Every structure is written in structure tokens, then in C-alpha cells.
Amino acid sequence: MTLTRLALGNPVAVAVAFILVVLFGLISLSRLPIQLTPEVQEPEISISTTWRAAAPEEVESEIIEPQEDALRGLPGATRILSEANRGQGRINLTFAVGTDMRRALLEVMSRLNRVARYPADADEPVISSVGGDSRPVAWFIVKPVAGNERDIAGYQDYVEEVIQSRFERVPGVAMSEVRGGRENELRITFDPYKAASLGIELPEVVELVGAEDVSAGFADVGKRRYTLRYTGAYEPGDFDEMILTWREGRPVYLRDVAEVDVKMVDRSSFVIQNGQAAMAVNAHRETGVNVLEVMAGLRQAVDELRAGPLKRAGLGIEQVYDETVYIDNSIAMVANNLGLGVLLAIGVLWWFFRKFRATLMVALAIPACILGSFLILDAAGRTLNVISLAGLAFAVGMVLDAAIVVLENIVRLREQGESPETASAKGAGQVWGALLASTATTVAIFLPVVFLEDEAGQLFADLALTIAVAVCFSLLVALTVLPTTAMTWLRRAKLEDPHHHWWEAMSGAIMRLTGPGRRLIWIAGLLTVPLILVYFMMPKADYLPEGNRNLVFSFINPPPGANIDYMEEEMGKQVAAFMAPYVAGEQQPRVDNYFFVAFANGMFMGARTVDPARSGELIPLINGLIASFPDTIGFAFKASLFGGLGGGRAIEIDIQGRDLEALLQAAGAGFMAVREAFGTMPRPLPGLELAEPELRLQPKERRIAEVGWDRGDMGGILRALGDGLFVADYFDGEQRLDVILRSDKWTTPEELAALPLATPAGGIQPVGELVDVVRTAGPNQLRRIDRRRTVTLQVRLPEGMSVEEGLDLIQAKVTPAIEAVLPEDGFIQYSGSADKLKTTLASMSGAFLLAIAILYLLISALFRSFKDSLLVLLTIPLATVGGVATLFMMNLVGIKQPMDLLTMIGFVILLGLVVNNAILLVHQTRAAEREGLARREAVEQAVHLRLRPILMSTLTSLFGMLPLLLMPGAGTELYRGLAGVIVGGLAVSTLFTLILLPSLLRIGEDKVVGS
């Protein structure tokens, strides 16, 4: 072969090329971004709009619906999820993979500008490309130090200005969020009785307070130009002197009826960490950055803050979650497995060759191929993660295959007396066609995976690229480096095969087993039994493994109408008391950190154990704690490695329709059906009933008109009597504060109805004279998917149940219960893991079939025969049954291993591995026949010559992957099933291919004689 001849003619050039690949590979390794997993996410854009004191119905009609209408038909958008909460509306847009997000962001901004108007006191929409399901890589807790008695919630502005802004300056941080604080507002708190007694009408107060600064342009005075500014806006100290009206020649000041002060907004959330009130700050990373470098930057920022501004402010900061801990452990684990696999593979080589130099020559392929892979990964903009490192571990045995075949052939020729130069040239030349075929097929089967654009493609692009590149490098090494080193290093070596009698005995046994009497039985059995076994042993499909991030998380739906003080007194303090002995180590498992966060629409809790292996023990403990709270729905689960905190193995049942009450009734039926079918409670989003207490103020049209007002005036007045009416904003030189007009606190609906109001034409009237105060109930949140009202039941599957099993159970037991009470215009759809699994199964099935088709056509072209390539493909069922049987045995012995997405890719990798042995046998048989041997002698020669390299390559691959299958540790759940499929499939297929393929090749041997 030309390439081999060139290499043999210039060994120094080969050595230089080898050194350069190693050198630049090491440089690329130092440059590669390090992450836990590849970027697996759907492109998202979130839109958040705040409207203080607004009910969900108003947020839906005034904010969400106009925004949805403007965003209708957005190019590339696949899903619109909207939530209307108290005081806030949120829209999350999901886009198809591959969408140009810069263009999508500009399109979203352009369309939102088409919204005609927003309520006067609603903030402008905030658009973020981070997405609603983004997961923070770090959480920090901020607390007052000993001696600082100030309420931690009052540090909201300080934490935003000092900590949040510093975090967002760290390279690689996309955004930072603050939880548990309270902002300030300039509050005008009036006494409605004093105001009414003095005849002060509230709409007039609103007009006076809302005065603004005005620029009047410029004026030339002499030689100078002056700017004209009217300072009409009130300073906080000037509000007391505001004249509201005149009574008997004397002014009535604002201070006569109201107090003006800068206060914290009403409390709507709190954070408890290890029993103490705290504030929480997180950090989200940008896409494609090195998480380890981002975390190092955050730690440096924390050290600076701790020693500087926070020390002066009397605050302490502590990191309570660090994603890099799991990354470090996982990367170290897979790197150790990679190293152990290399040692085992080299050990197998030495056992076969019994020559140190021969073993070292083959082992040289490992660093060249692995470091060459780093070179291409860096050039392609990929990352170094657990999946790509596992791909390298799988490639260890694969990259040795070509080198083994070439060296074994060179050694065989040397054993026959050929010179070193002739043996090296002829040894590579005789097998390069088969090696090219096996390399091309291995690379070709990954093409469908690389071009998948869904989450499967994102997840396995790194793995496919890694293995494909490593195998290509292995072919170059086998055809250049190995013949060159063999010519030099083995020049004086005496080469004898210590096991040659084994190969002769095994070859004879194979020929006897595939004789005329047994041949058809073997063919029939090995082609049908595997298919039957696969059918009965195939496990149910799952989506992605959860892993163990050492974080147990729980969502809690509080009792309807529970206010923030109730949540703190009746729940927060109970959680602190319950967790105290676990934090102190008095009870097991010992808890390293926990947090409890309450907000307007619910609560969530998270906990981490000192020993990560015992984190699962917290699930029943936290579930028992949640069950002790009355009228509360909640559940605990292990946080998933993939997706946000709400991700993982959860199936979402979306119940959609127009009538909200009918949807809630259907959701209630589904809730009970899920409890009965699964034994666990689903999480209802937003809730199961309209139980949020509501005081509905219904206008008396005639009376309002008689006193000289209209509905708009009355609406503003009632807002002032409630949470407060936004009347202006005030800039204090650093930030803007809302100016809120608000009445003194009232405690009962009757007290509200009795509050007096001064009117333009009706004198003083009580509120109850102008509106009817009705006690009722309403929603605490409204949820819409694709512009239709939706109630979602999030079903988290019990441990050991796959997504496919869960979906089958839901369709059999839950869906009929919902459909029985569902309105005519309602319908049900499944999302979450169920929808993704359906998409993934379709894409993976297509990729698998396409890989087989590519394999068949490629081998046909290389063999110049459609029949011979079909013989090679007939070995695939043997590999499949081996992989399935391994999964079956793992589950049988208690190692839970579902057929998840990562395991499925093992079958695609297996295609490229198992056909290599078949290609060697078919190629050698046909070559011998072309040389004039009879069919039987050709098959016998092929089995005898290729048995040793087949067993060597198979055993090196198996032992190289065994650590990935057998060694427990962090991150192993990602690739354990993948390793099991490959190890089992390769072992079974190799064993039976040596019987099946000779049986097939010997068909018609009586009619084909040598020439």
C-alpha cells in the first residue's frame, strides 16, 4: 500500500508526526471546556412582566393574552407556556433545535412592541434567553453575622447591587438571581377616616402626588444659555408639606391625613437555611463555557466580597451548592476507569504476544488516538464531559483492533520466515482492505447520530465524534506507525506463537461444529432464537437517568389561601425543628445543608447529605414531614442530572379546555386515579380547585354615578384601600422607588365595607354603599399552553419504573378517569419525559435502521457483493440479544438498569463493533477462494488465520470496557447501561459469530471446488 511504503521509507517523518499529534493533543486537552454532560437543552426565551397587586385573572386578560396574540405564529416556536400569577405574568417560549436564537430574540422583541398598551403601573416586559428551565451551577446563602440584628430581608437592594452585580461580571455567568429579600417603596399611608372627615377625595390626591419634573427647554440670557427645569416632583421630605385643599382659609396638608415613609414592600417570600432566616443568590452559566473556570471565578468573587463589602455590612456568605463537586468526582471516576481499561487491554495483548516490544507497539495506538480525538474535539468546539470521556474509554479496545490485525499479520509472516521489511509491507497490504471496510462502517454508523437535531443528537454528538475520530486515527496508526516500528523493533526478535496449538484445536472444533450434519441447525437456531429472546427480555424504554447529584428536592403546594406568615409559623418553623437533629448529626443520615423557600404560589425544599450515597434516605423522611402538614400536596425526589430542578423522570398530563371549573373537576378525577395507580401523589399545576379566598367587590353602577365617579375612579380607590395604588415613582439618585398610596390596615370585610370615602357629589359614603363585598374563591394561578387554559398533573414515577411503563399505566388507568368528566371541547396531551421519549424513540429507531442501511450498502461496495454484505449483517441479531440479555441479567441481580436513551446508543455502537469480526472472516474467505482454494479449505484457512486477531481484538475491547460496567461511583449511572450493552453484545456475538458465519460461508461447499 502506498501510505505504508511511504512510512517505511521515512521512519523519522512517522515519528515526528506521532510526536506532533501527541503534543497538539495535550494542548487541546488543556483548552477543552469541562462540563458534566454535553449541552442538552431546547432553546428557550422567557418573558416576565410584573404588575403589582394584580390578580391572576387580570394578569391573564391584560398582559398574557395580548402578548400571546402578538407572539402567535412566531417562526421556530414549538410551544408557548404561559403562567398568570398574583402580580406577575410569565411566558416561556420553546423553539426547535437549530433555531437561530439571536434572530428569534429580535423577533420576540419586535412583536412585543406591537402590544398596544400595558396597565399604567405594570413594568416593561423583561426578556431573557436563559430560559425557564435553566439550572443554576451554584447557590450561595447570605446571613447576618453575630451582632447584626437587622432583618436580612432588608438587604435586598444591597445584595442586588453588591453580590448579584459582582457575580454577573464573572466570565461565563449568564445571570444571577436573588431570593428571600424585600425591596423598598415610598409609601403614603393615609387614614381613610381623617381623609373623609376633611373632605379629601382620593382621586385628587393621586393627581397631586403624581406631579413630575418638567424640562422647559433653553433660554439665552446675555452671553449664557440656561436650561429651564421645573422641579415639580416631590422629594420624600416635601410630601408632608403638600397642600391637599383649603378649609376655612387654612391649608390641609398631606401630613394631616397620612404618613410618608420609605418602607419595605409587604413580605411575599422567605428563605430558611439550616434553621435561620437567610437570602439566597444563585448563578446560571452561559452555554458552552468551562464550568470549572466559572466556579473558580465565583469563588474568587466570594472571597473578595467576604473580605470587603460584606464584612463592613455585617453579612456572611456561604456556598451551599456546587455543581463542580459532582463533575470533579464523575470526571475522576471515568478517567480512572479509562486508565484501568487501558492497563487491562495492554495486559491482554501481552498475554497473546508474550513480547514486551510487540505489546508496546500496539499500545502506542492508544495515546495517539485519544490525544488525536482531543485535537478534533477542540477544533469542532466540543466539550470534555462524562459522555465524551466514556466514548474514549469505549474506544480504547476499538482503536487496538486495527493495530492488532496488522501486527498479528506481520508477526505471522515473520514466523513464516519473511524479512522485517517484506513482512511489514506485505502484512499491512494484505489486510488494509478489511481494515478500511471496518473503519468506514464504524464511522458511517455514527453519521445518523451526529445529524440528529433533537436531544439524542445533542447528547451523543460528542460521543459519536470521539469514537469516529479515534477509530480513524487508529487506521492511520495501524498502516504507518505500526509497520515502521515493527520493521525496526522486531528486526532481531524471535517470534513464535506460544498458543498456536490452541488456535489449531479451536479451528478444528469450529469446522466440525459447522459440518454438513449440524450446519442448518446452527443457522436456523442462531437466526431465530436471538429474535425470540430479544422480544421477551427487552426492557421497557426510559428517557434519561436521574443520577445522584446529592440533592433531594421537593415541591409543596400549601393550603389554599395560606398567607406568608402562616407558611412561616406553621410550616417553616416545623421544618427547622424537624431537620435540626439531622443537621447536628444526632440522627442519620446527617444533613450537610437544607433550605426551605416559601413564595406567593407555593414552597420548595432541598437537602443534601454529608454522605452522597445516603441522599436517597431523605426522600421518605421529607415525604413524611410534608404529609404532616394539613391540606398540603407535595413530594420529594432526587434532583435529576439533566434539566432544571423540575426535570427528570416525570410525565406531565396536560388537561386543556375553556371552562376552568370543568378542567379542575377532570384534574381532580385524574389526581385520584394517579394515586390509586401509582401509590404516589402527582403535583397539580396550578391546583385542583378554585379555593383561593377572594373578596369580590361588585360595583353598584347607579350609586357610583350619583356620587360623581365612574368605574375607573372606583377601581383606583379600591386599589388604594388594598395593597396600594401606584401613583408615581421617585429617583433617589441611585434607584427608582415606587410611590404607593395606601390606606391604614383593615382586618375584616365588614371593616372594609365601613370605610368612609369623600365623593364629589354624594358627600361621605361608605365603601359598602358603592360596591357589594362578596366572599368567594378564585384561582391562585392560571396556566396556559399554546394559548389554551391548562391544568397539568405532573406524575413523578416510582423508582424502578421506566417512562414507557408509566405512560402505559397512565393511558390504561388515568386517562379513562379524566375523559369520563372532561368537557366536550377539552382534550388531553402528554408532555415532559413522555413527549420527549416518544420523539427520542422515533429518532433513535430511524437512526438505527439508517445505520444498518448505510452499513449494508457500504460493505456491499467494499466487497463488491450484495450477498457477502448480507452475511455480515446476519450477525447483528446475535449482538442485540447479547446486549439485551446483559441488561436483563443486571436487573435480575438487583442492578436497576432501564433501557434509557444512553443505553440505546450502545446498540448503535455495537453495530460498528460486531461487524468487524464478520468482515475479517468474509474478506479472508473470498481472498482465499480467489487464490484458488476450495470453499471448505478457504473457510478453514480464514478461521485459522483470523481466529487469533478476532479473539485479541474482542478481549482487549471487553477488558477495556469492563471497568465502566463494574466499577461503582459518581457518574457511572450515565454509561453503565451503555457499557453493559456493548460488553454483553460483543461477547455473545463473537462467540456465536465464529459458528454462524462459517456455517453460512460453507453453504454449497460441495459445488465450489478449488482451481
Q: Of the ranges 130-134, 374-378, 807-811, which one carries the lowest mean pLDDT score? A: 130-134
- C-alpha grid cell for residue 40? 442538552
- C-alpha grid cell for residue 817? 378517569
Tell me the mean pLDDT in the region 788-817.
87
The predicted pLDDT at position 134 comes to: 65
The model's pLDDT over 581-623, given as tens digits with 9 standing for 90+, comes to 998 888 888 988 888 888 877 888 888 898 888 888 888 898 8
The predicted pLDDT at position 628 comes to: 87
Cα–Cα distance list, 967 to 338, 387, 846, 896, 955 (Å): 11, 16, 33, 15, 18
pLDDT at residue 359 tops 60: yes
Asked if 239 and 188 touch (Cβ cutoff 8 Å), the reply is: yes
Number of Cα atoms under 13 Å in the Cβ half of residue 783: 16
Asked if 721 and 191 touch (Cβ cutoff 8 Å), the reply is: no
pLDDT at residue 111 tops 80: yes
The predicted pLDDT at position 867 comes to: 84
The predicted pLDDT at position 1002 comes to: 78
**CB contact set of 379 (below 8 Å; sequence gap of 6+):** 28
The model's pLDDT over 263-322, given as tens digits with 9 standing for 90+, comes to 888 888 888 888 888 999 999 888 767 888 899 999 999 999 999 899 999 999 998 888
- C-alpha grid cell for residue 903? 443505553
Q: SS in 3 state form for 848-906?
A: HHHHHHHHHHHHHHHHCCHHHHHHHHCCHHHHHHHHHHHHHHHHHCCCCCCECHHHHHH
Helix axes 972-1001 and 386-415, enclosed angle (nearest 10):
30
Share of the chain above pLDDT 90, in %: 8
The predicted pLDDT at position 546 comes to: 72
Domains of the chain: 1-31+355-492 (1.20.1640.10), 185-211+227-265+693-778 (3.30.2090.10), 506-537+865-1005 (1.20.1640.10)
> pTM of the full predicted structure?
0.76
Give the containing element (helix H, strand E) for 300.
helix 291-307
The predicted pLDDT at position 648 comes to: 60
pLDDT at residue 520 tops 50: yes
Helix residue ranges, H only, 32-81: 56-59, 65-71
pLDDT at residue 67 tops 90: yes
Tell me the mean pLDDT in the region 899-927.
80
Tell me the mean pLDDT in the region 467-491.
84
The model's pLDDT over 672-687, given as tens digits with 9 standing for 90+, comes to 999 888 888 888 888 7
- Alpha-carbon distance 637 to 553, whole Å? 5
pLDDT at residue 828 tops 70: yes
Structural Rg of the chain based on CA atoms: 36
The predicted pLDDT at position 548 comes to: 72
- Alpha-carbon distance 37 to 40, whole Å? 8
The predicted pLDDT at position 133 comes to: 56
- Alpha-carbon distance 968 to 613, whole Å? 11
pLDDT at residue 123 tops 90: no
Tell me the mean pLDDT in the region 835-849.
78
Burial 975-985 (b: 16+ CB within 10 A, else e): bbbbbbbbbbb
Angle formed at CA 185 by CA 180 and CA 189, multiple of 5 degrees: 120
- C-alpha grid cell for residue 74? 412566531
- Alpha-carbon distance 209 to 727, whole Å? 7
Number of Cβ atoms within 10 Å of the Cβ of 12: 8
Which position has the grid cell 436531544?
455
**66: confidence class by pLDDT, cuts 50, 70, 90:** very high
pLDDT at residue 493 tops 70: no
pLDDT at residue 1011 tops 70: no
Closest-CA residue to 355 (of 188, 546, 486, 192): 486
**64: confidence class by pLDDT, cuts 50, 70, 90:** very high
pLDDT at residue 647 tops 80: no
**643: confidence class by pLDDT, cuts 50, 70, 90:** low
The predicted pLDDT at position 646 comes to: 39
Asked if 466 and 388 touch (Cβ cutoff 8 Å), the reply is: yes
DSSP letter, residue 241: G
pLDDT at residue 950 tops 80: yes
Phi, psi of 364 (to 5 degrees): -60, -25
Asked if 186 and 240 touch (Cβ cutoff 8 Å), the reply is: no
Asked if 990 and 950 touch (Cβ cutoff 8 Å), the reply is: yes
The predicted pLDDT at position 585 comes to: 87
**929: confidence class by pLDDT, cuts 50, 70, 90:** confident
Cα–Cα distance list, 25 to 215, 370, 460 (Å): 64, 8, 21
pLDDT at residue 632 tops 90: no
**496: confidence class by pLDDT, cuts 50, 70, 90:** low
pLDDT at residue 938 tops 70: yes
More confidently predicted of 97 and 256: 256
- Alpha-carbon distance 746 to 757, whole Å? 15
Q: Of the ranges 191-195, 652-656, 821-825, which one carries the lowest mean pLDDT score? A: 821-825
Q: Residue 591 forms beta bridges with which residues?
A: 609
The predicted pLDDT at position 107 comes to: 92
- Alpha-carbon distance 661 to 778, whole Å? 10
Residue 229: Cβ-neighbour burial (10 angstroms; 0-12, 13-18, 19+): exposed
> If you write DSSP's letter for every residue of 919-946 in order, what string do you get?
HHHHHHHHHHHHTT--HHHHHHHHHHHH
The predicted pLDDT at position 645 comes to: 37
The predicted pLDDT at position 494 comes to: 63
